[in-house]
Amino acid sequence: MEILEWINENIVWGIPVLILFAGSGIIFTIRTRCLQVLHFPTIIKRTLLTKQPEADGKKVSPFRTLTAALGATVGTGNIIAIGSAIAFGGAGAIFWMWISALLGMATSF
């Protein structure tokens, strides 16, 4: 049982997993040529600034598609996690959440 606690504390919630997550995000960002940052204006233009289709019930608007995809990806657990991170880590937690989000976006492509 002690070895499982050691693995949990030192590997699962330690530096090796942090390096794995950050490293994979950096590798995917390089491989996609920083797609999540360079194409951000295009994404905003196509989802938020396009003309909404007629309300005939046959077409789904780009904004509805975006919100459905974000709701499925983010989930309610991340909303609670952000509040907890700010409560325990302070305002500096917001900076690191943005950095991890930028690196994590590359893994979804």
Q: How many domains does the chain divide into?
A: 1
Instruction: Return the pLDDT at 57.
Output: 66
Closest by CA position to 78, among listed 107, 101, 62: 101
User: Is the pLDDT reported for residue 109 higher than 80?
Assistant: no
Residue 69 has pLDDT above 90, yes or no: no
Q: Other C-beta atoms within 10 Å of 78: how many?
A: 11
The rounded distance, in Å, linking the Cα atoms of 29 and 35 is 7
pLDDT averaged over the chain? 84
- pLDDT tens track for 36-68: 889 889 888 888 777 766 666 677 878 888 888
For the stretch 90-106, pLDDT in tens is 889 989 888 888 888 88
Class of residue 97 by CB neighbours under 10 A (exposed 0-12, middle 13-18, buried 19+): middle
Residue with tokens 């994979």: 24
pLDDT at 54 (0 to 100): 63
Encoded tokens for 108:
């979804």
Range of the domain at 37: 2-52+60-108
